[in-house]
Amino acid sequence: PIFRNRLRFLMREALRFSSTELLVYMASMETETFAPLIGELVLVPPRRMIDHPQNAQNPAGRDDNAPDDVDSLACLYHSSRKSLSDEKTKIHARIVVVGAGTTGLAFIHSLLSIPYLQFTNILLVSTDGLPLHPNQQELNWNSDSLDFLEREYMTLRIGKRVRLLEGTMIDFDKFDKYICTDGSNCEPYDYLFITAGRQYAIPRELVSQHGAKNGVFPLCNQHYIAKIKQHIHESEIYEDDLSSAVIFGTNLDVFAVANNIIKLGLAPQRVVIVSPDSGTVNPFGDPLIELKVEELLLSLGTKILKAHVLERLEYDEDNNLSSVVVTPVDGNRGKSVEVNATMFIYVHDKDIDSH
């Protein structure tokens, strides 16, 4: 700590005494890092490697018995005598980024990657905090996941260069320049970037005032995903073979959700997929793949209703979901179908998060 204000001089003298020109520092989540030191160094962007298949048995050409590389997710930083002689320009402006989606994280990553600037006050406001990389998650509920490499993503977590505030922004004052969150926190800012994005939102006319507590779940954040897991593991109502879980949507997320809830222990026979599309939209981009996936689900006992739209949700006396009523897109072609269900997962239309 006593050398904190003279880090660049200390590193420059270390290079001089060791007769070297380049200083290399590797940091990871498993090692203790000194945040001020990382701020003075320059990030080495990771390369995107291409795997060339060598044989059919081992397409990636890797040794399956080889030990995992402990530095596979480490971040590499460097500095030289010349770069240490040029002081980085420190930006102390209060930068607040709302939303931890691909856009918001890419913006922060771009700021941290500028070699001649050091941002000292970046705040990320997110409902779920800083999410894990899709490769680090046990279950992926969304098909449109982050486009970062894991090494690129780790630059946001290593060194604590980004301050996190878990919560939802509910208001902001552009004259006094501060934001308010649902946790009664007020944060001042000099620059505000709102990258909340679009999330799944159930039409208001279909949802009661109790929202997700009664078995209706929009797949919009980790809170609702936790509710889905809790509902599957703790609800005794799934001991009844007549109760089902209805998934409503037309995209790849529908199949991701179906796969995950089956992995969580829900019998495939209790899963019902309802799609308002009559066959014009192919979420896989290949008709053959879509056909094979649907055949697999049908062989497991999963029911698929195409060209059906949501008509209404029925609740019991305790305001718990009891059934889902769907009707054909063309009402003259058939009658409405009532599915006995205690869980309804909505993955159809997205809207800007206004909550």
Domain ranges of the chain: 4-46+72-196, 204-352
Alpha helices, DSSP H, located in the chain: 7-18, 35-40, 81-85, 102-112, 150-154, 222-234, 252-263, 287-300
Max Cα–Cα distance, the chain, nearest Å? 86
276 Cβ contact partners less than 8 Å away, ≥ 6 residues apart = 248, 250, 307, 308, 309, 310, 329, 348
Compare 137 and 194 and report the one with higher pLDDT: 194
Compare 177 and 137 and report the one with higher pLDDT: 177
Q: Residue 219: its pLDDT value, please? A: 79
Sign (positive or negative) of CA dihedral 232, 235, 236, 237: negative
What percentage of the chain carries pLDDT values higher than 70?
83
Compare 210 and 349 and report the one with higher pLDDT: 349
Q: 262 with 271: CB under 8 angstroms?
A: yes
Q: Residue 331: its pLDDT value, please? A: 63
- Average pLDDT over the chain, rounded to whole? 80
* Structure confidence by residue, pLDDT tens digits, 177-224: 999 998 888 999 999 999 887 777 777 766 654 444 478 888 777 778
Tokens of 273: 């997929």
SS3 label, residue 304: strand
| Residue 267 banded pLDDT, cuts 50, 70, 90 | confident
Q: If you ran DSSP here, which 8-state letter would residue 206 be given? A: G
Q: How far apart are CA 139 and CA 141, in angstroms?
A: 6
Q: Residue 167: its pLDDT value, please? A: 86
CATH 3.50.50.60 corresponds to the domain 204-352: yes
Compare 161 and 279 and report the one with higher pLDDT: 161
Q: Residue 144: its pLDDT value, please? A: 67
Compare 119 and 320 and report the one with higher pLDDT: 119
Q: How far apart are CA 342 and CA 271, in angstroms?
A: 11
Q: How far apart are CA 316 and CA 67, in angstroms?
A: 55
Compare 64 and 34 and report the one with higher pLDDT: 34
Of 203-217, 253-267, 280-294, which range is least confident?
203-217
Q: How far apart are CA 287 and CA 37, in angstroms?
A: 53
Residue with tokens 């007549």: 242
In the chain, the amino acid numbered 345 is I
Q: Residue 211: its pLDDT value, please? A: 47
CA atoms within 13 A on the CB side of 59: 1
Is residue 95 scored above 90 in pLDDT? yes
Q: How far apart are CA 333 and CA 329, in angstroms?
A: 8
Q: Which of 41-45, 88-92, 135-139 has the highest mean pLDDT?
A: 88-92
Q: 342 with 322: CB under 8 angstroms?
A: yes
Look at phi and psi of residue 72 and say left if phi exceeds 0, alpha if psi is from -120 to 50, else beta. Answer: alpha
| Residue 146 banded pLDDT, cuts 50, 70, 90 | low
* Structure confidence by residue, pLDDT tens digits, 56-70: 444 444 444 444 454
Compare 240 and 149 and report the one with higher pLDDT: 149
